[in-house]
Structure 1
Amino acid sequence: MGGSVGSAVETTETADPHGAAPVTVRMLGPLTVMRGDAPVPLPASRKVRALFAYLALAPHAPTRSHLCGLLWDVPNDPRGELRWCLSKIRRILGDAGRVRTEGDTVRLDLTSCHVDARQLDAIAAQGVALQSLPSLCRMAESFAGEFLDGLELDRSPAFNAWLVAQRRRYRGIQTEVLEHLADHLPEAEAGRTLERWAALCPLDERVHARLLRMLARRQRVQEGKDHLEAVIRLFDAEGLDSASLREVWREAMAQAPRPVPAQAIAPDPPAPVAAAHHGSIAVMPFADESGTPRIRGGVADALVHDVITRLAKLRSLFVISQGSTFALHDRNVSPDEAGRLLNVDYVVGGSIRRSQGHLTVQVELAEVRTGRIVWADILSHSIDDAFLVLDEIGNRIVASVASEIETVERNRAILKAPNSLDAWEAHHRGLWHMYRFNKQDNDAAQAFFTQALAIDPTFARAYAGLSFTHFQNAFQGWTERRPEVESALRAAGQGLMIDDRDPAAHWAMGRALWLRGSFEQTLRELETSVDLSPNFAQGHYTLGFVHSQAGDPETAIAAADQSRRLSPYDPLLFGMLGSRAMALMRLGRFDEAAAAGVTAASRPNAHAHIAGIAALALSFAGRLDEARDMLAGIRATLPGYGMSHFLNAMQLGPDDRALFREAARRIGMDDG
């Protein structure tokens, strides 16, 4: 689609270059083509309309073979039927559009037409929040129902699969537009937006709660009662619990203002943010595409059960039980719709295929509110040992899902006003700053973790983050060590008191005890963290970090490698590689140590001690010029950095301290 997004949003009609009436194609509802104000008669053939819609949105020109397979179930003459359909499409468009063929491909040129679905795509590409409210209101006015409502085709499974995917995507964007308008329009105008949202997503608990609160605030009591009763009947018919909406109405009525003259009504203050919101996820049963009848309890179900269990052990997300997700799957509810019914933030879905001694798993993580796929992967293993294969695949899925969600939530939180954050968002805003590894950001992270705990004092993960900021102050030498060590221990202890089964709470306590030099206690806490959740990458990393200095270097390498397998794009990847380099130096494997150290120091958030590890490893490997360059880079930002800074941070034994001092002496890193 040509032109900028902004111009696309502001324009509602596109004039024909020859002066004819503008042509508008509407897909957000039943397929409709308008020339000016007059509807263009559409062919009775559903396949002509389906082909028209598919070509209108195709990002690339599809081949004729692809289109035949998409729409026809072994017709006598598929290409002949395709030619007939294209001739009908030419009549629909007249001079406003062109069917263009090149080789075996077919393309629909709608440059002179306004297509509402393509306009919505442009809004999503630039970002809903960046659009003007008037343009979004005009866009919302065009929402006439489900995408291509009523256009399903019999015996065309490929087209129907495309249609379901597009409906999910456009419903997500439409919901985002309507939610943004409901958040930013005056309440008198937002009511219509909420009604559209409820019509689009009738089983979305959030919109009904907002409607009920609005009706209570505006003293429209009977309308509120009628709406609640209708929603209860709808939810009961779908087997959903409506108790929370009953409670919303009860609380809304208790807080509603007494009736006053209309002229005295002032704008309502924003509703308070719910303090208890934490991220939530549902893992839907995986489809078995092996060509054999699905057996309950088979490989696909075993993998899903394993992923649900492992995610729950991480304790960072609210995880929907297997019983709920399997029940919805048995009712043929799609993953995106299940996410809305269960009112979760994220949904995991996928499929498995077994063939010729291999197991292939396709998996994707989607954000429910927008329908956006956050992460997707295809994992393939030979089936030498089915249990080991499922274990490895489960590890990769769980670690990737947890890491991707944390990244999404961190990046979302940084864009919000600090005083608007709930506890979950404040915690992730803290993580965003914490992973920058400088004093200014560490102080900001500490403030956001404290803000999260002021909102929700039972948030164990926020205590773990707070403990880590105190650990950094002590480890980096940014403030006086002793008070920071005590603060790190105190925050970690608070987290353990709240949730003794949270691996992050034990991880935080292990790091704090390491600052005290309590080696055996440190190992007990860190081993507990990975026992509670074998997928907790930071627990494995910190075990490697501790063993790399005063423990078993082979164990350190294994733990660091496991943490990297679990979380290959982790914000602490520099530490995983740095720990590996330290252990390799102690084993005398200096070339390997130098390679790991240099890679660690090249990470964008690596701090001075990581660069120090790299300089020492290069010195051990005889690459003295590179080592001196690395040291010069450290001293450009930290003048005077030397071996005393490094050894004060680390906890090496006497023999290793002497060994490392010799490497430092060769490159002028010693403090003399």
Structure 2
Amino acid sequence: MPILSVRTLGSLAVVRDDVPVVLPASRKVRALLAYLALAPHPVGRGRLCEMLWDVPNDPRGELRWCLSKLRGVLDTPDRRRVLTQGDTVALDLDDCPVDALEMSHAATQGIETLELEPLRTLAGLFAGAFLDGLELDRSPLFDSWLIAQRRRLGACHAAVLEQLVERLPADGDEAIGHLDKWVELAPFDGRAHAALLASMARRGEIGAAERHLATAQQLFQSEDLDFAPLRAAWRTIRDQAPAVSLRVPPVSALSQPLAPSGDAGAVEPSHASLAVMPFVEEAGGTRGGLADGFTHDIITRLAKLRDFFVIARGSVFALAQMNIAPDEAGRKLNVDYVATGTVRSPAGRLIVSVELIEVRTARIVWAETFERRPDDIFAVLDDIGDSIVSSISAEIETVERNRAMLKAPNSLNAWEAYHRGLWHMYRFTQAENEQARNLFATAVELDPTFARAHAGLSFTHWQAAFQRWGDRDRESALAFESAGQSVLVDDHNPAAHWAMGRALWLRGEQDGSLSELERAVDLSPNFALGHYALSFVHSQSGDPQAAISSSDHSRHLSPFDPLLFGMLGARAMSHVRLGQFEEAAEWALKAAARPNAHAIILAIAAHCLALAGRLDEAHGFAAAIRKTMPDYRADDFIGTFRFEPDAEALFRQGARRIGLN
């Protein structure tokens, strides 16, 4: 067992061999201990002096005195834990549990992935607010750090309580106790209130629930938040009582943001939501000019993707003007994700840093810094904006996909069924494709207006036709039908026109296919799959140079895309048509090296390597294909695509060299 531990969740305490250590009375010593315990790296003495003293007579001397007091608390004859090297200070607590660090580690790993007992242990760590009662006078930097840590760890606590409420027996005292604490901790979280109302209804406490609803309404109105979703949730709970469940939020409307009441327009339920807070000019922490324009551009681009709900510019700027921190704004808006950023313009450079935070767990799911030379400021901003928007979309899709995989299949809503379908779809096997199809069908049954679910269903039929997993004509017709439904539901959704463009390609209608795919990227220039599909069509019988350009752009927008093998393979086929066989072989090898590359990608590699004269490597791929498809021939390869005659002749030449003719 560890002989030393540091407790920060509640009143600060140090425990040695299960006995509390008497801490110095000085608040500065205690604050220094807490700050160093959580610091990931050694901290400069100047930073510590600036953090803890406003205008001391001898800051370095006072810091030395505080460190001497810390040594009395932490050091033992055989172990020095207060380390000073040069101008830096650090604590050696590698073998000492620090409750706030344990909580942070759990949040980084994903609170929703934890088993029940670890969740109980985490909940037990919270004896109160972080460093309860340890505010300092005239130390604004420390107070700012303290408030930020309390917000972050409070959000983690709420996430732990929510998981416990969902997993524990609904009628048990333990679940009810966690539920009461969740509502106390997150008073503006509609899900917490709905779960509490459901719990009361199950116990027949309708009058108490009505009184709680009235109190909650006053609370929401005091913050200018829309109370209508919670009121609607209560009506549903009351109508269903006593059959309501504590585990599942009673109304899908609770997934929509509780936006300030001045916002117009209803928000469709059951989709992930995002708020992009105004980016800040790092020099002086100001907003305006370049930062505000950049924020507006990113909000607009994300909204055009139509992947999820994006809070309108007016709402996020209004909250920012109230000096509300991004994570607090996320909770007020009841969104799933918040993106924040800073902009710096040192001499000759533009540096943009971005973070994407999952609000319920306070977990940073993605962070990146982009640095460019602003030779053409508009082109640079466009390039950085492309990268930010595509990365945010991909990261949210990954998180939602992984979360959906953890839920029981019979408890999925349309959004979750769609993302679970994506997980199976990207495995690119016949069995997984069938599972994906069933999940997309479930999603459109639950929500017939869900355009991307229709597009996903079209993709599975397209894949079945392309891979010859079923009757090609029938699957092509079904792909076209589902794509048509997607366009009918939402003509402004780029995924709908992407699905239609691919379906038309299956039908041999190249002009119509290109028109639909160009419509997709016109609607959303950041839609990576639209650019990839254009590359795919052009690589066979269109403009090979345009195919290479579209392939490169799709990879720039989505460098870790599940369809990356296709982006690389399309470029390889384009080089074949240009007579650049060695380049074709190199790109084909990159495509085949992707972990989810299927047999058709291996066939592209075999043919390109053969044309480049690299016959041993080509024979290796041909042998790999024939392990699962013994009768595979050039006709199968040619029949999969729609090559123009010259390109077909080249690929048949390659097939003859390795015995696939």
Q: Secondary structure at the match of 1:639?
A: coil
Please state how far the C-alpha of 1:76 moved relative to its aligned partner: 4.2
Deviation at 1:168, TM superposition (A): 4.0
Distance in 1 separating the partners of 2:121 and 2:596: 44
Q: Does the 8 Å CA contact 2:539/2:573 hold for their aligned counterparts? A: yes
Report deviation, 1:335. Answer: 1.1
Structure 1: tracts of 5 or more residues without a match: 4-13, 17-22, 259-265
- Whether the 8 Å contact between 1:423 and 1:455 is mirrored in structure 2 is yes
In structure 2, what is the equivalent of residue 20 of structure 1?
Answer: none
Q: CA 1:118/1:359 → structure 2, altered by over 3 Å: closer, same or farther?
A: closer
Quick one: structure 1 residues 271 and 160, their matched pair in 2 at CA, closer, same or farther if it must change by over 3 Å?
A: closer
Which has the higher mean CA deviation after the structures are superposed, 62-71 or 238-247?
Answer: 62-71
3-state secondary structure, aligned to 2:474: helix
Distance 1:553 1:458, change over 3 A: same
Aligned to 2:585: 594
Q: Per-residue deviation at 1:77? A: 3.1
Aligned to 2:323, what secondary structure does the other structure show?
A: coil
Per the normalisation by structure 1, the TM-score is: 0.89
Find the counterpart in structure 2 of residue 236 from structure 1: 221
- 1:149 aligned residue: 132
Which secondary structure state, in structure 2, belongs to the residue aligned with residue 630 of structure 1? Answer: helix
Which residue among 291, 295, 304 is the counterpart of 2:295?
304
Match of 1:285 in 2: 278
Distance in 1 separating the partners of 2:93 and 2:553: 52
Q: CA deviation at 1:65?
A: 4.7
Deviation at 1:95, TM superposition (A): 6.4
Residue in 1 aligned with 2:354? 363
Question: Which residue number in structure 1 is paired with residue 100 of structure 2?
Answer: 117
Displacement of 1:596 in angstroms is 0.8
Map Cα deviations across residues 560-595 of structure 1 (whole Å, 9 max, x no partner): 111011101111111111111111110112221111
Map 1:213-292 onto structure 2 (within 5 A).
213-257=198-242, 274=252, 276-291=269-284
**Cα gap change, 1:322 to 1:398, in 2 (>3 Å):** same
**Whole-Å Cα distance in 1 between the matches of residues 496 and 594 of structure 2?**
27
Distance, in Å, in 2 between the alignment partners of 1:357 and 1:333 is 32
Residues 1:193 and 2:152 aligned together: no
Residue of 30, 33, 48 corresponding to 1:49: 30
1:213-241 CA-to-partner distances (Å, cap 9, x unmatched) read 22223222343233223322222222212
Q: Which amino acid aligns with 1:580?
A: R
**Distance in 1 between residues matched to 2:250 and 2:231, nearest whole Å:** 19
Aligned pairs for 1:608-647 within 5 A: 608-647=599-638
Q: Deviations over 1:238-295 (max 9, x none)?
A: 221222222222332233249xxxxxxx997866673941111110001111348543
**Does the aligned pair in 2 maintain the 1:537–1:567 contact within 8 Å?**
yes
Alpha-carbon displacement from aligned partner over 1:98-117 (angstroms, at most 9, x marks no partner): 64325345444568876432
Equivalent-residue separation in structure 2 for 1:193 and 1:251 (angstroms): 23
Tell me: CA distance 1:273–1:588, structure 2 relative to 1, closer, same or farther (3 Å).
farther
Alignment of 1:159-174 (within 5 A): 159-174=142-157
The code of the aligned residue for 2:614 comes to R
State the Cα distance separating 1:59 from its structure 2 match: 3.9
Equivalent residues of 1:582, 1:613 under 8 A apart: yes
The partner residue of 1:397 within 379, 382, 388 is 388
Aligned equivalents of 1:129, 1:326: Cα separation in 2: 31
**Counterpart-to-counterpart distance in 2, 1:370 and 1:658:** 57
> Which of 449, 461, 477 is the matching residue for 2:468?
477
CA contact (8 A) 2:514 2:534 kept: yes
The answer to whether structure 1 residue 546 and structure 2 residue 537 are counterparts is: yes
SS in structure 1 of the partner of residue 83 of structure 2: strand
Check whether the contact 1:86–1:99 (CA below 8 A) recurs between aligned residues.
no
Of 305, 315, 319, 2:306 maps to 315
2:459 partner amino acid = F
Give the structure 1 partner of residue 428 of structure 2: 437
Would you say 1:184 and 2:192 are equivalent positions?
no
Question: How many Å separate the matches in 1 of 2:282 and 2:66?
Answer: 32
Following TM superposition, by how much is the alpha carbon of 1:133 offset from its aligned partner in structure 2, in angstroms? 4.2
User: Deviation at 1:93?
Assistant: 5.5
Kept after mapping to 2: 8 A contact 1:642/1:669: yes
Separation (CA, whole Å) in 2 of partners of 1:496 and 1:391: 28
Instruction: Please name the residue that 2:262 is paired with.
Output: none
Q: CA deviation at 1:368?
A: 0.9
Alignment of 1:12-91 (within 5 A): 25-32=6-13, 42-73=23-54, 75-91=56-72
**Post-superposition CA distance 1:460-506 (Å, at most 9, x none):** 11110110110011111111111101100111111111111110010
Query: What is the distance in 2 between the residues matched to 1:138 and 1:611?
Result: 49
Q: Distance in 1 between matches of 2:245 and 2:536?
A: 55
Query: Distance between the aligned counterparts of 1:374 and 1:195, measured in 2?
Result: 28
Match of 2:85 in 1: 103
1:94/1:543 CA distance change after superposition, 3 Å:
closer
Q: Deviations over 1:50-101 (max 9, x none)?
A: 1111222334444545534543456443332122112333455586996432
User: Higher mean Cα deviation, 425-434 or 79-88?
Assistant: 79-88
Establish whether residue 203 from structure 1 lines up as the match of residue 188 from structure 2: yes
CA distance in 2, matches of 1:58, 1:269: 37
Contact 1:146 1:200 in 2 (8 A): no
Deviation sequence 1:519-547 (CA, Å, 0-9, x none): 11111110100011000000000001000
- Answer yes or no: is the 8 Å Cα contact 1:98–1:110 preserved in 2: no
- In structure 2, C-alpha distance between the alignment counterparts of 1:131 and 1:592, rounded to whole Å: 47
Does the aligned pair in 2 maintain the 1:145–1:200 contact within 8 Å?
no
Note the alpha carbon deviations across 1:437-475, whole angstroms, 9 max, x for none. Answer: 111111111111111122212111111011011001111
SS at match of 2:345: strand
Equivalent of 2:452, from 449, 456, 461?
A: 461
Summarize the Cα distance change of 1:63–1:384 in structure 2 as closer, same or farther, 3 Å threshold.
closer
Q: Secondary structure at the match of 1:355?
A: coil
Paired letter, 1:318: F
SS at 2:342 equivalent: strand
Q: Does the aligned pair in 2 maintain the 1:290–1:355 contact within 8 Å?
A: no
Is the contact between residue 530 and residue 540 of structure 1 (CA under 8 Å) also seen in structure 2?
Answer: yes
- With 337-346 and 98-107 compared, the bigger mean Cα shift is at 98-107
Identity of aligned residues (%): 57
Distance 2:147 2:197 in 1: 30
* Distance of aligned partners of 1:133 and 1:541 in 2 relative to their CA distance in 1, 3 Å threshold: closer
Q: Give the match for residue 257 of structure 2.
A: none
One-letter amino acid matched to 2:307: S
Paired residue secondary structure (2:172): helix
1:227 and 1:176 mapped to 2: Cα distance?
Answer: 22
**What SS is found at the alignment partner of 2:434?**
helix
Give, in angstroms, the shift of residue 419 of structure 1: 1.5
Contact 1:43 1:88 in 2 (8 A): yes
Q: d(CA) in 2 for partners of 1:272 and 1:404?
A: 28
Cα distance in 2, alignment partners of residues 356 and 32 from structure 1: 47
Structure 1 residue aligned with 2:562: 571
1:440/1:293 CA distance change after superposition, 3 Å: closer
Given residue 70 of structure 2, which amino acid in structure 1 is its aligned partner? I
Decide whether aligned partners of structure 1 residues 154 and 350 sit closer, same or farther in structure 2, where only a CA change above 3 A counts. Answer: farther
Q: CA RMSD in A?
A: 2.8
Q: Following the alignment from structure 1 to structure 2, what is the Cα–Cα distance between the partners of residues 66 and 285?
A: 28
1:486 maps to 2:477: yes
Partner Cα separation in structure 2 for residue 396 and residue 125 of structure 1: 23
Cα distance change of structure 1 residues 588 and 155 upon mapping to structure 2, 3 Å threshold = farther
Range moving further from structure 2, 284-293 or 155-164: 155-164
Alpha-carbon contact 2:606-2:619 (below 8 Å) kept:
yes
Task: Find the counterpart in structure 2 of residue 6 from structure 1.
Answer: none
- Unpaired runs of at least 5, structure 2: 254-268
